[in-house]
């Protein structure tokens, strides 16, 4: 085992920024009251003010009003809230049809499947080989019964960024609500709700060096959304439960700390990694769109080798990355995203995702590519596939 470990799975989780922790600390030790106690005592007022300030800052980042930003426990809850909340509000009144893309992340997909079991009809939109939704296909799929379209801003695995402005325009032209899961774009790719016709946006802090357990849902004013979790009257009576004030403060701070230079640096490292891997390791292919892509996402399939073996070998060299291989997944199914973009089992089996973050350096990117080249070559030597090419004696 190496001493220094290099974390390259920043779409799964990120290292907390010390400045975020610093902003959060007083709300654990000094101002730990609940915001709903504002009429009872001073600490409650301070808590309320902190929550309001965080909300204002996050709403601003989305070009929204503070009343349009609801705190949740993370993107899973946000997306559940969006899909199930709209289904509850409009299912009986307007219709029971929902449209999602095939390559959505699990909170959206599983919420859609849960609604399907409850009698809703769900269209799982096909995407092209880069992962992009076809706007014409979307337009054709919308019926009078359609109440919601949920299409992600960028994909969690392959990083492809959808044209949500175009998608939103179609939805609104047809009078249908539009939700987007922006878990992986928030802070990294601009999303201004004043310019983009979107009704709900899922965001989270855990992908941007903020704390885990805090996220949010942007809800455009007037959006019919039923309360889904019952309890108190918090969050404009949309989300019951004690406010996570340290989390909210940390989330806001995490967003403030992202700079355009940082995103540019990530993009540079991303392109460097992709260029080197495709050039130096034979029989590889990039998954996802080359340009319309998250600035920190690299996803490559290596033929003739299996992803879990690659990740384990990389781990022994100190690198943490992820794979879409069936062997790695809890359901023993290969990545639905790779299948969704027309990839076969083999492509999913040998896919590796590297996602960069604030604490990664270019030297680390070079180091992981060097190691990857060795690991792939070793594994190909023991693989029964591609023998004519890599079959030299071990």
Partner 1 sequence: MKFPYSETVLEHFRHPRNVGKIDDPDGKSMEGSPACGDMVAVYIKVDPDTKKIDDIKFESYGCASNIATGSIITELAKGKTLDEAKKITWKEASDALGGLPKIKAHCSVLAIEGLRSAIQNYEERHGLITKREPTTLETVRKRLRKVMNPIAGLDLVRTNLVKDIQMKDGTVRVVIDLPKNHQFAAAIKEEIDEKIEPLWDVKEVIVEFTD
Residues that bind partner 1 (CB under 8 A): 113, 117, 304-309, 312, 316, 325-328, 330-334, 344-346, 349, 381-385, 387, 391, 393-394
Nearer to partner 1, 371 or 383 (CB): 383
Q: Describe the crossing of helices 260-280 and 362-382 by its angle, rounded to 10 degrees.
A: 30
3-state secondary structure 162-211: CCHHHHHHHHHHCCCEEEEECCCCCCCCCCCCCCCCCCEEEEECCCCCCC
Q: 278, 312, 316, 327: which one is catalytic?
A: 327
The Cα 111–Cα 102 span in angstroms is 13
Closest approach of Cβ 366 to partner 1, in Å?
24
Report CA 298 to chain centroid distance, whole Å. Answer: 14
Nearer to partner 1, 209 or 349 (CB): 349
Antiparallel, parallel or unpaired: β 200-204 and 215-219: antiparallel
Beta bridge partners of 121: 97
Closest approach of Cβ 5 to partner 1, in Å?
11
Q: What is the DSSP string of 219-254?
A: E-TT------S-SS-HHHHTS-S---HHHHHHHHHH
Gyration radius of the chain's alpha carbons: 22
Nearer to partner 1, 185 or 309 (CB): 309
Closest approach of Cβ 350 to partner 1, in Å?
9
In the residue annotation, 171 being an active-site residue is answered as no
The Cα 286–Cα 158 span in angstroms is 9
**What would the two tokens of residue 141 be?**
């799929």
Closest approach of Cβ 98 to partner 1, in Å?
17
**Do residues 189 and 294 touch, judged by C-beta distance below 8 A?**
yes
Nearer to partner 1, 137 or 326 (CB): 326
Report CA 327 to chain centroid distance, whole Å. Answer: 22
287-298 core/surface letters (b: 16 or more CB in 10 A; e: else): bbbeebbbbbbb
Nearer to partner 1, 65 or 308 (CB): 308
Closest approach of Cβ 159 to partner 1, in Å?
24
Closest approach of Cβ 325 to partner 1, in Å?
7
Nearer to partner 1, 155 or 325 (CB): 325
User: Which residues are catalytic, by number?
Assistant: 327
């Amino acid at each position: 085992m190496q001493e220094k470990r290099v974390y390259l799975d920043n779409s799964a989780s990120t290292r907390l920024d010390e400045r975020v922790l610093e902003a959060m600390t007083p709300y654990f030790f000094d101002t730990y009251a609940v915001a709903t106690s504002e009429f009872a005592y001073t600490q409650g007022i301070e808590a309320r003010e902190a929550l309001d300030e965080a909300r204002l800052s996050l709403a601003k980042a989305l070009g929204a009003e503070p009343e349009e930003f609801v705190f949740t426990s993370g993107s899973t809850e946000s997306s559940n809230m969006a899909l199930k909340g709209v289904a509850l509000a409009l299912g009986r009144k307007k219709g029971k049809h929902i449209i999602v893309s095939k390559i959505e992340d699990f909170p959206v997909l599983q919420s859609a499947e849960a609604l399907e079991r409850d009698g809703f009809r769900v269209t799982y939109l096909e995407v092209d080989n880069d992962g992009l939704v076809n706007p014409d296909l979307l337009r054709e799929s919308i019926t009078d019964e359609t109440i919601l379209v949920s299409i992600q801003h960028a994909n969690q695995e392959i990083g492809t960024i959808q044209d949500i402005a175009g998608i939103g325009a179609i939805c609104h032209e047809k009078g249908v609500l539009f939700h987007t899961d922006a878990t992986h774009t928030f802070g990294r790719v601009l999303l201004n709700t004043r310019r983009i016709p979107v009704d709900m946006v899922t965001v989270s802090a855990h992908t941007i060096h903020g704390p885990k357990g805090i996220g949010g849902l942007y809800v455009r004013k007037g959006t019919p959304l039923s309360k889904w979790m019952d309890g108190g009257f918090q969050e404009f009576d949309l989300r019951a439960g004690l406010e996570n004030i340290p989390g909210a403060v940390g989330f806001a701070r995490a967003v403030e700390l992202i700079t355009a230079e940082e995103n540019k640096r990530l993009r540079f490292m991303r392109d460097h990694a992709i260029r080197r891997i495709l050039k130096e390791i034979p029989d590889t292919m990039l998954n996802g769109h080359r340009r319309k892509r998250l600035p920190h996402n690299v996803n490559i399939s290596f033929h003739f080798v299996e992803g879990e073996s690659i990740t384990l070998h990389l781990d022994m060299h100190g690198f943490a990355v992820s794979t879409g291989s069936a062997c790695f997944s809890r359901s023993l199914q290969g990545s639905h995203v790779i299948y969704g973009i027309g990839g076969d089992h083999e492509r999913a089996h040998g896919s590796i995702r590297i996602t960069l973050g604030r604490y990664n350096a270019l030297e680390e990117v070079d180091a992981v590519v060097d190691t990857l080249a060795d690991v792939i070559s070793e594994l190909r030597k023991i693989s029964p596939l591609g023998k004519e090419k890599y079959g030299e004696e071990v």
